[in-house]
Amino acid sequence: MFDGGDNYTQEMMSVTGISTTKTKNNNKRRFSDEQIKSLELMFESENRLEPGKKLEVAKELGLHPRQVAIWFQNKRARWKSKQLEQDYSILQANYNILASKLESSKKEKQGLVIQVLLS
């Protein structure tokens, strides 16, 4: 059935395999450098904002409270990932040191066993 074209076009695109999904990049709002600097400074002192503080920050920076909330949420996630990477690096370095000491101890033990057997 032809109903003015809209549904017909979508059906035809669907049948022919043409994607009909629309990107939401048009709706994306980027933060200004000044806004990001302010948010970063606030994050250093507190990584969670109370609802009242969130409203105040949003108003101060000319943003929607939801934008501020999502920025903080994303920042916490990135911060946590970075912390995990740092912790992993420390653990990896400690493991390498211990593995090296174990190998040295094994060689030392082997040398001592040989000395005992030869004496």
pLDDT in tens, 19-38: 444 445 555 668 999 999 99
Provide the H-helix boundaries in the chain.
Answer: 6-16, 33-45, 51-61, 65-118
Choices 3.40.50.2020, 1.10.10.60, 3.40.50.1820, 1.10.10.10: CATH for 33-113 = 1.10.10.60
Mean pLDDT of 38-65: 95
Give the pLDDT confidence score for residue 29 in this predicted structure: 64
Q: How confident is the model at residue 119 (pLDDT cuts 50, 70, 90)?
A: confident
Give the pLDDT confidence score for residue 67 in this predicted structure: 96
What's the mean per-residue pLDDT of the chain? 84
Residue 109 has pLDDT above 90, yes or no: yes
Residue 6 has pLDDT above 80, yes or no: no
Domain boundaries, the chain: 33-113
Give the pLDDT confidence score for residue 30 in this predicted structure: 87
Residues 6+ away with beta carbon under 8 Å from 71: 31, 39
| Amino acid identity, position 7 | N
